[in-house]
Amino acid sequence: MSDIHSTVSSDHRASSRARARARVRRLLLAGIAVLYVVSVPWYRETDAPLRVWFGLPDWVAVALGCYIGVAVLNAMAWRLTEIPDQYVEGQAPERSGE
């Protein structure tokens, strides 16, 4: 009887972890979208003085920082994406977001 309970408990923990991973992955993807929006310099006034950061115009430095952040968040999101090693023929692959 304890084998049945441990199997059910193990399955519940695995599905709970999968849901948590999917939730974190969605948050990372939302963060990527925010960084893309921030990277566009539409918040700058057209007559704003040019400041230099790291030898680049400030808006370029902000955009590059956002793109580096996108790369890091994207790598983290892919690490949380479960990709099965093999697909069973005739069976649709499971979606990681579910």
pLDDT digits (tens, 9 = 90+) for 54-83: 999 999 999 999 999 999 999 999 998 887
Give the model's confidence band at 14: pLDDT under 50 very low, under 70 low, under 90 confident, else very high: confident
pTM here is 0.69
Give 17-49 pLDDT, tens digit per residue: 888 998 999 999 999 999 999 999 888 888 889
- The pair phi, psi for residue 53, each rounded to 5°, is -120, 125
Q: Which two tokens stand for residue 50?
A: 């040019």
**Secondary structure of 33-98 in HEC code, one letter for each residue:** HHHHHHHCHHHCCCCCCCCEECCEEHHHHHHHHHHHHHHHHHHHHHHCCCCCCCCCCCCCCCCCCC
